[in-house]
Structures are given as structure tokens and as C-alpha cells.
Chains A and B, each alone.
Chain A
């Protein structure tokens, strides 16, 4: 800036360095604790020089929390949620921005309202829907009388069933069903010059062609940003995966943290717990470090 304020600058630096220390401290403690053995990790205060048991602890945590399987599931889960968001929101926003049909405003508001209630708030009924994802349609058929009619005519009783508990779709689909991405795309589409669509139409391109050949390539930066924030968000989900996956084959890494808590009357093996924590928190952190620009950009754009 234009003036010299050495004292104030020094004060700022002190505060910032303090903040830096506070921000890095938990990372440092997790890493250091993961290198000690059982005895050293329980010394008070924790010795801050790293020990030599890092790989042993990692191996132990890997086995105890079944991390091979769980990390794989987490990657599939977070990847699919992010991809689903990127694709479905691009399509929904296209319908809202580039078409004019009756009921368009209603669709807009129907999607918009989902921003208001996060999954955690309506967790109990969402869980019951996940037990049979076609239950809403079955209930509608029953009420409308379609079930009875079909049964009388054909002798076949409609019983729609698609249980989602303990399955990848059950983990993924409910988390895709929010409006976050749709608005990111909508804002972006609105900034695209009118002339582009005009020219495309003049050249005889239909909506599908315009969407695939012009809009999607143009929205690549948006897609990367959205994918990054959604991957991190999905990876860090806890309550929903905890409820839906009782079968360990479909469990994800973050819910495995519970098995790593040292039990009250067992060994206080915090070294293993911290090694597991490190492995589980690392993937989204690495993604954020590598993609920081996109992450920040996506976060700010999607919240506004």
C-alpha cells in the first residue's frame, strides 16, 4: 500500500503466523502421532520429534479399518456423486434456461427449494424411502386406483420394489438430489451471449446438438470446479453412509473412523487411530491442494 506502517505490519505478521500454526497444528499432531509406538504416543506431552513406526501403524490401521475396500468404495461413491451432479445439473439448467414451456417456472422453483433442506434434516423419512426407492410410485398407483384396476384386468398385482439399502445407488442417489450444481450452471449459461444460440439455430442445430457441441465444451471450467467441490463434499459425508451401509462390503472410509477410536478399556493405541485418520482425510486434502483455484472458485460461485 501507499504508506509505511512497520509496527502494524509486524503485528499482522504475528497474528497470521499464529493462525498458520493453529491451522497446521492438527495436521502436524496427526502425522507425528502416527509415527510413534503405543508407549511413546501416550507420553504427556506428546514428543514432537517423529518416531519410526509410521509404516507399522499405517499397516495396522489399513487392516483394522479394512481400508483397501473402504477407500475404494469412497472413491466410487464420491466420484459418482460428483459426476452425477455435474451431468444432471448441466441438463436441468439447460432445460430451465434455454427452453420456454409451460410449467418451466414451477420446475425452477421445485429444484430451487431443495436448497433449503439438507439431507441431515430429513434423514429419517429419506432412509425409509431408500428401503424401497419405488415406494412413492407404488403409493401413487395405490391411491389412484391403478393397482386395483390392473389386478382386475390382468390378475397381476403391481408391486414395485427397488431396495437401495446396502448398495451403491442407495449411497449415491439421495446425495445427488439437490440443487447446488443446477444454479452454478444456470448462472453460467446466462452469461453466454445470445448470439451463440442464435447462430447455432441459424445453422440448423437442434437443442441436443447445441447442448453437446457448444454448451458442454464451454462449461468445462465450471464442470471442473463443480466436480472438485462435490467430490470433497461427498467424500466427507458421514450420517447418510452410516445409515445406509450396514453391510461392510459397501461401507466407506469416513464411517470406518468409528472402528479406530481406542476403546475405553482397551489399549489407548492412538498411534494407529491417527494413522487411519491420516489415510482417510488425505484424498480430499490432496485434491484441494492440487485444485485450489477451482475449489475456491466453485465454492464461491455455487453458494451465491
Chain B
């Protein structure tokens, strides 16, 4: 073992630090019994083997095979499932919609949360109240707020129906695909403002007070300080949240879509996970759904890798 001479307690800095921290930071004092160590890890390992690795492997298997309609096992078909998928405009449609949904809700949720966190951090009157309430939306189940927003945004009752009183037929998420997409984005963003707020505020509070006071002494006003000190120091958090928000927009959107629009009207809100669910469990096309899963997995893995590469850089700021 070529551990650094001054032992694991040494503070690692620099871009390679993250990698080292994860794999090399170790205890000097350890227990030697291999059996007991393995026994401690065993329950978790058994679970992830059965419910993570096996299914992921199976997804690969299905993606490259086709089930015989009259039974008799699966036939290897190479990339045909993927080619079929990629030639299907409906599938490209679901990717495009997922991107529109993911990007707009991310921008909306992060923008609002950043503004609220920056202002809350100024510790004006009532900041304790803000700090408490802005977290609440994240506690609500996506489908529950889906139902709440379905009512609030309903064309014939609730709140937004007011618009239809003034201009009949202007707003109708049940018929107009664009309206439906807006409704889903608003509901999802509302929840994730709460999530982003938690992280932005905690990052802001991590900035040393002295830095901000020094800037203030030099005559920088609050806006200037936000632009030149707080925002640059927030970039790691910004990037981290960007990735998390987009990943969550793939997964956590299912409940909202299923309750609010069921993918409609006319597929206008059929996002990727919803299509996998629909093809796999309603259409019983396991091979097609598995191929879609693989593509989604690759997408999510790409995002995660991107995120880890950036965390390495974050060490610089600390």
C-alpha cells in the first residue's frame, strides 16, 4: 500500500482529491476478521444483487432479444430493438418532450429557488418563516400535488378557470397539448423549488461571513455582492442541482403525469418513463420497453458521470 507518508488524516486538495477521498481515505485502525466484515455487508449485497444487478442485466438481455410470440424462449436479434425504436418518430417525440419538460422545469425551479434563497439569506424580518415554509413543497408526494394542481388548473373549476371566463376556451389542459405540458411543468417545478431552496440556502450559509463583510466595507452593495461573491461561490451547487433536477425530472415526473394527464392529450405529455411503463406493462412489449430502459439508463449514467467530474473540481472552493 502506498499511502501518503503523513497518513490518511492529511487533507487532500486539488482535482484528484475526490477520487482519492472515495477510494483511499481509510481507517488506520481496522478489524481483521474477514468473515465478520463480509457478514456485515452481506444483507445489502444480497439486496442489490437481486433487485439491482440482476434486473439491470436482464434489461440488457431483453433489449437484445425478442420474445417468440408462441413461446419457446427469446431469440437474439442484435440491435434490432434499438433500430426499430430509433426509427420510430413516436419515440423521438417522447425524448423531445422529456427534454422540454426537464429543461423548463429545471430552469423554473432553480431560478425561483435561487432568488428566494439569496433574499432569505439576507436575514431580513421573517427570514425564519421563509426558511421553514419554502421547504414544505418538497415533502408532498408528486401524485398528490398532481391532483391538487389538476384541480387548481382545471378549465372548468378551481382557480385558472377564471381565464376561461374572460376568454372562453383559452386554457384547457384536457384538450390542448401545450396547456397540458405547462400544467405538468408548473406542478413539478413547484415541488422542486423546495428541494433546490434547501441546497442553495445551505450553500449560501456556508460562505464565510467575513468575505461578505469585507466586500461591504469596500463599498459593494448587496446586489454587487450577490453577483461577484455569492453567485461564483455557488457554481458547484448550481451544477450539482442542475444534474439532480434533470435526473429527477425523468423519474419523479411519472406520478404527476399519471395523475394529471396520463400522457395525453394525444401523447402531448408522454415522457420517457411514462412510455416505458405504458409499452412494458400495458402493451406487454418487454423487449421494446427494455431497449428504452437501456437508452434512459445511458442518459442518466452520462449525467451522473458528468456530475462526479464536477464534484472533483468543487474541492477547490473549500
Contacts and interface: CB of A to CB of B under 8 A. Distances in A.
B216 A2 contact: yes
B300 A13 contact: no
Q: Chain B, interface size: which category?
A: 35 or more
Interface string B235-272: 00000100010010011001100110000000000000
Contacts of A8: 221-223
A163 interface: no
A20 B129 contact: yes
A211 B290 CA distance: 42
Interface string B203-219: 00000000011001100
A214 interface: no
A148 interface: no
A189 B117 CA distance: 31
A42 B161 CA distance: 10
Nearest to A276: B147
Nearest to B285: A124
B157 A16 contact: no
Contact of A288 (B31, B36, B139, B281): B139
A15 B126 CA distance: 13
Contact of A13 (B31, B124, B134, B212): B124
A135 B54 CA distance: 9
Contact of B27 (A24, A194, A236): A194
A277 B52 contact: no
Given A8-B222, A104-B37, A261-B259, A129 B54 contact: yes
Contacts of A296: 135, 198, 202
B290 A207 contact: no
A296 B205 CA distance: 13
B159 A45 contact: yes
A144 interface: no
Interface in A85-141: 88-89, 91-92, 94-102, 104-105, 107-108, 110-112, 114-129, 133, 135-136
B122 A12 contact: yes
Contact of B62 (A5, A125, A274): A125
A121 B148 contact: no
B167 interface: no
Interface in B70-122: 112, 115-116, 119-120, 122
A124 B25 contact: no
Interface in B28-75: 28-34, 36-38, 40-41, 43-45, 47-56, 58-59, 62
A97 to B, nearest CB: 6
Contacts of A104: 37
A61 to B, nearest CB: 11
A121 B222 contact: no
Given A19-B116, A91-B40, A277-B144, A258 B259 contact: yes
B147 A277 contact: yes
Interface in B152-193: 152, 154, 156-159, 161-162, 164-165, 190, 193
A210 B140 CA distance: 39
Contacts of A122: 52, 55-56, 59, 293, 297
A76 interface: no
A257 B143 contact: yes
Nearest to A270: B151
Enumerate the 8 nearest inter-chain pairs by beta-carbon distance, A residue then B residue, closest first.
A99-B37, A125-B55, A236-B141, A95-B41, A238-B255, A92-B44, A95-B40, A101-B34
Given A98-B37, A100-B30, A111-B45, 11 more contacts: A16-B119, A19-B116, A46-B159, A88-B43, A120-B251, A176-B47, A198-B29, A232-B139, A239-B277, A261-B259, A288-B138
Interface of A: 1-3, 5, 8-9, 12-13, 15-16, 19-20, 22-27, 29-30, 33, 41-46, 88-89, 91-92, 94-102, 104-105, 107-108, 110-112, 114-129, 133, 135-136, 173-174, 176-179, 182, 189-190, 194, 197-198, 201, 206-208, 210-211, 232, 235-236, 238-239, 242-243, 254-255, 257-258, 260-261, 268, 270, 273-274, 277, 280-281, 284-285, 287-289, 292, 295-296, 299-300, 303
